[in-house]
Chains A and B, each alone.
Chain A
Amino acid sequence: MKRSLTLLAFALPLLLAAQSGKLPAVTVQAMDGKKVSTSSWNNGGKPMIINFWATWCAPCKRELNTISEKYADWQKQTGVKLIAVSIDDARSMNRVAPYVNGQDWDYEVYLDPNGDLKRALNVNNVPHTFLVDGKGNVVWQHNNYEPGDENELYEQVKKLAGK
């Protein structure tokens, strides 16, 4: 069994080189209860940020609250759109709409209560952020959140938007 582990360990760095790819088509739930396929997500050729979060995740909320302060400027300058995917399950998914509105967020918010999209994008833990280009390719990602990470994210957004 050790051999197979070694095999995996060696294969991993190779795989890490392959970071881009199309956004997978998975069904999530909109805030109005309707089912939506991620294949319908688009931002008219402009970049999209896809952020995985949960109401029980402190750094996630810190990140989205920080970006929220700057979001209007980001949108104005680059046309970027942020999609916040909550992985709250049946226990806390009912808290998502009141929380989001209580924080005064302007993001598009979706629910992924059984982790279908989380699994399809191979997210281990939240927060996890993906940057998607105008053609629907995942071009950059970041796990975790530390104050200031939003600046790095925005640099990447600007690069994509050609600003």
Chain B
Amino acid sequence: MQASTPTRPGTGRQPSVRSIAGAAALLGALTLQAQEGGQVHGNFSTDGQLYNDDEQIGATAPPQDFGLNAWGNLNYSQGGFRAGVRFESYEPALLGYPAGARYSGSGIGYRYASYTKDDLEVTVGNFYEQFGQGLVFRSYEERYLGVDNAMDGVRLKFSPDTGIYLKGVIGRQRFGFENGFTKGDGLVRGIDGEVSLTEAFPRAFPKWVEKGRNLTLGGSFVSKFQADNDPLLDLPENVGAWGARANYTTARWNLYTEYAYKINDPNGSNGNIYNNGQALLANVTYSTKGLGVSAGAHSYDNMVYRSDRAAAPFDLNINYLPTLAKQHTYNLPATLYPYATQPNGEVSYQGEVFYKFKKGTPLGGKYGTKLAVNWCGAWSLDTTRVMNDTVHYLGYRTKFFRQGDRQYFSDLNVELRKKVSADWELALTYINLVYDIATVQGKPGQSVIYADMVILEGLHNFTDRNSLRFEVQHLSTKQDHGNWATALAELTFSPHWFVAAMDQYNYGGSVETEKIHYPIGTVGYIRGGSRFSFSYGRQRAGIFCVGGVCRVVPAANGLTASITTTF
């Protein structure tokens, strides 16, 4: 692009529409792209859906009959300088989107400028950041889930020496969206330090350097401020939390542990109790060519930490409490009964093995065979209610990391994957699930679900550009909505086209329900960094999760169009 006609920002627009001026200014900057090695890049994503009413599946079209989520990022960089803006539009937002506070209208959802000079980086405006694995602080986005707790304020990053990293953040968090992002009430402040020992002090650890071992230590402190306007309770206005972590690595081993402690923080989620909170997670992995093993455990006790005491579960989270449950990729296990972290109290364990039977061995055959076994279990924390505690309002007493007797979840799954000939690949998966739907999905009174799933996937290459992939999935359970069967076929014509058809069938089995089919067809076109797809049909109500966060998407019937592009 040539540096030519300068765009006049905001000409002929109402002065009130500042976002347009902002967008125009950025587009103006675009035309100057060729100058001085500055670069402009960005992306664009839109999902539009035209809804039909469909009584049988309980789908109701919104009054507008239509939903649209769209956003575009523009980022400018030149040397150490970077600036960017995201324009977002929800006219109106798709049904079930976002996960938390409402998004509506169009405007600026994110904007920032940052400068890096030597070992110092300064960011003003919006930013995403995390300390360690996030037990005390994580600001992040999952756009397609509708989770965004971006900070709006200032961030400093400084590396005084090799292997030593310091960070400081201050600001308020993004809450909802109303012709622009809105912010939460509370102020969040945090500092973090990390040192990588063999990089910072190589002479002190000559053996480790020689053998490729390392130990990284980190610590953080976070504090939130929110005024106490409660007429009855004496609430702490400043709530501090600290965390410490260690990561030891060798060529084959990786040990990670993180601990977090939070002072009393009565809030809407914990019943306004004055207990302190703590969390511990530990994970160990061993891996070598062809073999990977991991084991992990964690305990969360009263660890809801939000910059507004009254915020709903998806809003204004300061910390991030990951679940150990595997995130499945097949439709039924991924979106029917996924597990979500219970931040008020949970003890959980997981174990996993990946193994490749080498080519030419009895089990490996001509092309090798891959095996994956994974297990995760989650329980309540063992607590004793404190009765008649009118002085401290502690709520309960507990012994740290002691498992309670209520099982929330367990998932045992085994997957075998094998290339059986030059043009055929097959994968067989078995999943056994225990799911306390009353706790995980907040549906009190519903009985625990025991389900078995079997999934067969096949991939056949007709030529080196055309292929057919199919999935047959079955879930059987005597609880909830009973049995489900799913069949999917996908024809691909590399590198541009694909056509897919899927039917999900809920036939109840031993459970008395209406037998319902959910057919849907999709056509897609891909070119470079752009992807266009169109679907028509029924979509089953589902739960979409990232991390410990899950969004419920209601059943829908209609036409969906999606476009994404990166430039």
Which residues of chain A have C-beta atoms less than 8 A from B293's C-beta?
Answer: 98
Query: Hey, what's the 0/1 contact readout for B33-62 against A, CB within 8 Å counting as 1?
Result: 100000111111100000000000000000
Max count, chain B CB within 10 A of own CB: residue among A116, A119, A148: A148
Within 8 Å by CB of A21, from B41, B254, B354, lies B41
Q: Are A121 and B327 in contact (CB under 8 A)?
A: no
- A122, B327: Cβ atoms closer than 8 Å: no
Question: Is B128's CB under 8 angstroms from A116's CB?
Answer: yes
Contact of B495 among A16, A25, A34, A152 (CB under 8 A): A152
On whether the beta carbons of A104 and B290 are closer than 8 Å, the reply is yes
Query: How many whole Å from B505's CB to the nearest CB in chain A?
Result: 22
Chain B's interface size range is: 35 or more
Q: Across the interface, do A102 and B370 meet the contact criterion of CB distance under 8 Å?
A: yes
Report if A75 contacts B (CB, 8 A): no
Contact assessment for A125 and B495 in the assembled complex, using a CB-CB cutoff below 8 Å: no
User: Mostly helix, strand, loop or mixed at chain B's interface?
Assistant: strand
**Number of residues from A at the complex interface, CB < 8 A:** 66
Identify the interface centre among A19, A57, A94: most chain B CB within 10 Å of its CB: A94
Q: Contact: B249 with A125, CB < 8 Å?
A: no
Contact B329 A97 (CB under 8 A): no
B525 to chain A, nearest CB (A): 10
- Tell yes or no: A33 within 8 A of B by CB: yes
Closest to B75 in A: A122
A8-B23 CB under 8 A given contacts A120-B75, A124-B566, A148-B461: yes
Q: Which of B423-476 contact A (CB under 8 A)?
A: 459, 461, 463-467, 469
Name the residue on B nearest A18 (C-beta): B1
- Chain A residues with Cβ below 8 Å from B33 are 18
Q: How far is the CA of A120 from the CA of B70 in the complex (A)?
A: 19
CA–CA, A7 and B424, complex, Å: 48
Closest CB-CB distance, B535 to chain A, in whole Å?
A: 15
- How far does the alpha carbon of A93 sit from the alpha carbon of B129 in the complex, in Å? 16
User: Which residues from B are CB-within-8-Å of A55?
Assistant: 327
Question: Is A142 in contact with B461, judged by CB distance below 8 angstroms?
Answer: no
Over the window 56-82 of chain A, the binary record of Cβ atoms lying under 8 Å from chain B Cβ atoms (1 yes, 0 no) is 111000100000000000000000000
Q: Which B residues are CB-close (under 8 A) to A102?
A: 287, 290-292, 353-356, 370, 372
B105–A1 contact, CB under 8 A? yes
Q: List 22 A-B contacts (CB under 8 A).
A: A14-B30, A16-B565, A18-B33, A32-B214, A32-B249, A33-B214, A90-B130, A92-B327, A94-B256, A94-B285, A101-B290, A114-B128, A114-B129, A122-B41, A124-B566, A125-B144, A142-B529, A143-B526, A146-B498, A147-B459, A147-B469, A151-B464
Query: 16 new A-B pairs (CB below 8 Å) besides A98-B354, A104-B289, A141-B566?
Result: A1-B20, A4-B87, A15-B30, A35-B165, A56-B327, A56-B328, A101-B288, A101-B289, A102-B292, A102-B370, A122-B567, A125-B564, A141-B528, A143-B529, A148-B463, A148-B494
Report which B residues bind A (CB closer than 8 A): 1, 13, 17, 19-20, 23-24, 27, 30, 33, 39-45, 70, 72-73, 75, 77, 87, 89, 91, 105-107, 116, 128-130, 133-134, 138, 140-141, 144, 163, 165, 179, 196, 199, 212, 214, 216, 247, 249, 254, 256, 283, 285-294, 296, 320, 322-324, 326-330, 352-356, 368, 370, 372, 459, 461, 463-467, 469, 492-495, 498, 524, 526, 528-531, 546-548, 564-567
Binding site for B on A (CB under 8 A): 1, 3-5, 7-8, 11-12, 14-19, 21-22, 24-25, 31-35, 55-58, 62, 89-95, 97-104, 113-116, 119-125, 128, 140-144, 146-149, 151-152
